[in-house]
């Protein structure tokens, strides 16, 4: 292989590694990003044009009245629903994604889905184990 070709190959390997790194960490440091995210159920628009960016480690609250679309938004970001329009990227993976990517996102919603006899940590560990997370204690 010529030196020129080897250099081109090295550059392409570096570019591929850079793309993988950007995919894994988010191109601008956002763990969650949504642009114009919409979800309709028939004629009812549950989520209408949500734009958001959340960096890794940030804490965020979503609040509003019943029927405002909070749970629908979380289900969209968790890969459980397909958007009617817009895009969402979670952990560098554009949603909706395949099972492997969807398995990397955990969503525990509403008290009815929790076990009252377990602590909050135990509920998270239990959910992680159900989703096949190997190191479920660290995930909690």
* pLDDT 10s digits, 1-36: 445 544 444 445 555 444 444 444 444 578 889 999
Q: Do 77 and 40 sit in the same domain of this protein?
A: yes
How many domains would you assign to the chain?
2
Q: Do 34 and 68 sit in the same domain of this protein?
A: yes
Domain of 43?
28-104
| Cα separation, 37 vs 52, whole angstroms | 9
What is the chain's percent helix, strand, coil content, to nearest 5?
40, 25, 40
pLDDT at 88 over 70: yes
Claim: this prediction has a pTM higher than 0.85: no
Which of 20-24, 36-40, 58-62, 73-77 has the largest mean confidence? 36-40
Give domain status of residue 61, yes or no: yes
Give the CA angle between residues 68, 33, 80 to the nearest 5°: 60
């Amino acid at each position: 292989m010529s030196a020129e070709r080897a250099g081109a190959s090295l550059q392409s390997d570096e570019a591929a590694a850079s793309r993988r790194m950007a995919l894994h960490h988010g191109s601008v440091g956002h763990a969650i990003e949504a642009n114009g995210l919409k979800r309709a159920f028939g004629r009812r628009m549950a989520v209408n044009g949500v734009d958001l960016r959340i960096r890794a480690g940030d804490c965020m609250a979503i609040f509003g009245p019943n029927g405002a679309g909070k749970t629908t938004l979380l289900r969209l970001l968790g890969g459980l629903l397909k958007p009617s329009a817009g895009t969402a990227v979670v952990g560098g993976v554009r949603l909706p994604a395949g099972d492997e990517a969807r398995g990397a996102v955990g969503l525990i919603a509403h008290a009815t889905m929790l076990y009252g006899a377990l602590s909050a940590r135990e509920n998270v560990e239990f959910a992680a184990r159900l989703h096949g997370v190997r190191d479920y204690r660290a995930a909690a």
